[in-house]
A and B are shown apart, each in its own frame.
Chain A
Amino acid sequence: MDYAALSANLLLVSFIAYLVGTLFFGGAVKVSKTEKTYKDSMWGKIGIVVTIIGFVAQLGYFITRWIAAGHAPVSNMFEFTTAFSMMLVGSFILIFFIYKTPSLGLFALPIAIVIIAYASMFPREITPLIPALKSYWLTVHVITAALGESILAISAVAGLIYLAKNVDLTKKSKERFWLEAVMFTVVLVLGFVVSSTAFSLSGYEADFTYVDKNGKASEMTYNMPPLFGMSEYEQVTTDTMKPWFEMPAIVNAKTLTTFVWSLFTGIILYILIRLIFRRPIAALLQPFAKKANSQLMDEIGYRSVLIGFPVFTLGALIFAMIWAHEAWSRFWGWDPKEVWALITWLFYAAFLHLRLSQGWEGKKSAWLAVAGFVIIMFNLVAVNLIIAGLHSYA
């Protein structure tokens, strides 16, 4: 059996199921007038069934890819990010059965969808393990860390609902600005997905030679029209555009080019949304958050941090240290990824202390939960792609 192909198809099935699930949760929120109908809505029940089908399909993707590769599929950016989205949905399903809130699904599933789409922009082929990754700790450390992060992410989803419901969007305020900024960031990720897909469908390629920061001659292939050139670049493919600017050697001009194209596409998307609906995105979402009980969202936000924090500590710090000691001879080496895991941990420690003894509940707590998610995403995206360290396997 061709497990690799089956695996790819299952992922597609789960992607579609999450899209459909989102619609049903939207329906659940839309049709319900009271808390009671909201909780017991038929739409919500179908929504969770579809979500579970999607989750099982994604679990199938994970298992078949594991069989095909012979190692846990968490060894590069695509695999890790996909696993993260799977666990996010898993955590949501768990929380749904405790609290029965369709709004949570309405916000959690789109985030999972965006994350899968983002993951798919990275090389998807099955890669054999380099020596440093050949250890059962790869499975143990990465899966536990991803699980912890995904449970923590649920708290950000609950926080987002809390804010979408409780921030007054009729008046100009800092809160309104930042809430819209969060929405804009999500659109930027979509911008990245749209521009990467468009250029990859068109088969765009431009080859360059350049001199890297250690003064060595290197080669680079752009998959997007090169806005920025690498240090001392020479064009190899001549029919492609000439970069507008040449960057110093420490800047990865290809990453910068991708970023600027994503930003550009994201801004256009955002303007289009604003033109079509004539309202900020946060205001578009507000009606869907209105049905959620604020106290419950606050509780879910707090509880998921309580549940996720120990799991994160175990996976991202303790297991990480044990493995680092086996593979790199030291349990802690201040590698950027390690430092950012510590920062995430410190941040949630501060969150818990503020909540417990300074009474930071409600909006403050919700903002912290969203900020925590931003830190997790920073560690996943920026630290891997910009601050290269030992963990840059992507």
Chain B
Amino acid sequence: MSKIKCQCGHENPFGTVLCEKCGRPLTDEAQKSEMVDMRYEGSARRSQTYKKSVIDKIWNFFSSVKIGVSIIIAVLATSAIGTIFPQKFYVPVSGNDPSEYLEYYERLYGTVGKLYYQLGFYDMYNSWWFKVLIGMLGTSIIIASLDRVIPLYKSLTKQRTKRHPSFMKRQRIYGASNVSDPDESFNNAEKALKDLHYKVKVEDGAILAEKNRFGRWGPYVNHTGLIIFLLGVLMRGIPGFYVDETMWIREGETREIPGAPGYLLENVDFSVETYSKGEADEVFGEAIDNNGAIVSEFKSDVKLYKEKEGSLPGSSDVEFMKEYPIIVNKPLKFDGYSIFQMDYKTGELKTMTFSLMNKKTEQSVGEFTIDLNEPAKDYDLGNGTSIELMEYYADYDGIVDGQPSSKSPIPNNPAFIFNMKTPEHPDGEKSFVAIRQTLEVEPNDYEAKFLSAETRDASGLTIRKDKTLYILLLGGIVFMIGVIQGSYWQHRRIWIQKGSGSEMLIAAHTNKNWYTLKKDLDKVKEVATLPTYTDKQDKEAVIDTTEGETK
């Protein structure tokens, strides 16, 4: 495409609205307008220039802020809909059976709940359309930024100190009039602007005073931060970058840590503490009276072990790494992994103690204790008496097909089949024993009578490893730098120029905060005689200034 040559001799790229050097309006539209659009300095943006090919059209679609805002609103709306009812991952439905989810939403929320499920809103943030929206948002951020930042950079670096009067006239803040001594005004203004910490350039009877240009890059820096963040989120899909596992571990147990091969964890002790009224002094007394006990701490005291190098997986050849109390807000950290205190169970059965009774004499002939997680096969009570544990059902669930069955390996409801060998019955008497229940094939002389049980607690822990965290953090930091850069610093420019005869021209522009720009101008006017300017956008200002200047 051909270049546009301005009257000042500068060759501008095709599509330029305001000459990069002198600011002369180059298009008919700009020439006719009273105020020119200064947002991108009237530079040639790809999206405003090329509109033919498919690529142009895609580019133009995503570079449009209107489209960008529409995508933001769409993400906003879908996110909001996702909060109407609880999302899938907060619903207490175990397993992944769709019909159970449907049943849950329908039972609690009726027809609307059913519709919510059927439309897929119950898993909004994992839905394909939500992901597509986020993808579009990312694309829009990249393309819209590129479309603007490059031409903006070019025209800000090429801008000339002396601008054409037609450029000045079309600024939002503009004034022109004759002054008594233009040279003195000019020099005073130059000094005053320097005192206000403007970078002042003088050329051929013209001043360009500029401040905080770097604030103009803020939006592009913060967009870069957002893109880094979104890339970080994408990278979680890469194997090894992200681990999210849970484990239940009982007191006294040592288990391999899921997701962290080679590491083992021992749960030494789990405890729950509540604020007691005495020690929490009178300050919390009222709150405890009103709310009942308030938990102060969930704690798992654990020991971390690592398998020695070269040892077989699952071997007991381990080395002790460290001991650590995991509490909420203080996860155990090692080798990029973090282990969090998330849940707990108290009072899980650990051991049960029985006494072997002679039914007739009601005399005990000995006691035995069964470890419910690793039950021994035989228990010798001495004097030719022993118990053989024939079958063990940790979580007894009734008789299925004529056989007792266990629904889980967790000893929630233990049941046993004992073979009781006594001097009278060397071959043993068989007995089925469950909680509050004893079944015998034929009447026995002896019975195993439940004496006591020991319980223990279990900790629910979450294991995380997230290598993308630093990328996300970097994205966040870059975003913050950009957003602060763009919000707290405003790019201000003041043009002052000697016209023909004793005329002076003054114009000013800022990307935001016009109030302070005008204050700066007023300060300059205090020391230099300059034309009165008007703010073309402040219609009430006329009244304000006339009334305000009666000092």
Which of A's residues lie within 8 Å of B, judged by CB?
4, 34-36, 68-70, 99, 123, 125-132, 134-135, 137, 213-214, 248-250, 293-296, 299, 302-303, 306-307, 309-310, 313-314, 317-318, 321-322, 325-331, 333-334, 336, 339-340, 342-343, 346-347, 349-350, 353-354, 356-358, 361, 383, 387, 389
Contacts and interface: CB of A to CB of B under 8 A. Distances in A.
B331 A326 contact: yes
Interface string B313-335: 00000000000000111110000
B512 to A, nearest CB: 7
A123 B290 contact: yes
Contacts of B11: none
Contacts, number: 164
A100 to B, nearest CB: 11
B547 A36 contact: yes
A350 B73 contact: yes
Given A134-B329, A310-B483, A329-B342, A249 B82 contact: no
Given A36-B547, A126-B287, A350 B76 contact: yes
Contacts of B283: 4, 68-70, 126
Which 5 pairs from chain A and chain B are nearest by CB?
A131-B328, A329-B340, A295-B538, A125-B286, A357-B65
A314 B476 CA distance: 9
A344 to B, nearest CB: 9
Contacts of A318: 476, 480
Contacts of B483: 309-310, 313
Contact of A99 (B290, B328, B515, B547): B515
B479 interface: yes
B331 A329 contact: yes
Contact of A295 (B297, B464, B537): B537
A343 B78 CA distance: 10
A348 to B, nearest CB: 10
B80 interface: yes
Interface in B473-531: 473, 476, 479-480, 483-484, 487-488, 512-515
Contact of A127 (B39, B291, B327, B548): B291
Contact of A303 (B473, B476, B513, B550): B513
Contacts of B327: 131, 134
A339 B83 contact: yes
B172 to A, nearest CB: 11
B526 to A, nearest CB: 18
Interface majority SS (helix, strand, loop, mixed), chain A: helix
B125 A128 contact: no
27 contacts: A35-B548, A126-B284, A126-B287, A127-B284, A128-B296, A131-B296, A131-B297, A131-B298, A134-B328, A293-B538, A293-B544, A302-B512, A310-B480, A310-B484, A313-B479, A321-B472, A325-B469, A326-B331, A327-B328, A328-B340, A329-B462, A329-B464, A331-B469, A333-B89, A346-B79, A358-B65, A387-B83
A115 B108 CA distance: 34
B75 interface: yes
A168 to B, nearest CB: 16
Given A127-B284, A131-B329, A353-B65, 9 more contacts: A35-B543, A125-B287, A128-B288, A130-B296, A317-B476, A318-B476, A321-B476, A325-B469, A353-B68
B481 to A, nearest CB: 10
Given A4-B283, A303-B513, A339-B80, A357 B294 contact: no
Contacts of A329: 331, 338, 340, 342, 462, 464
A128 B275 contact: yes
A331 B338 contact: no
B290 A125 contact: yes
Given A35-B548, A318-B476, A343-B80, A326 B294 contact: no
Contacts of B484: 310
B109 interface: yes
Given A250-B108, A306-B487, A307-B487, A132 B480 contact: no
Nearest to B463: A329
Contacts of B514: 299
B546 to A, nearest CB: 9
Contacts of A309: 483, 487
B360 interface: no
Nearest to B280: A128
Nearest to B550: A36
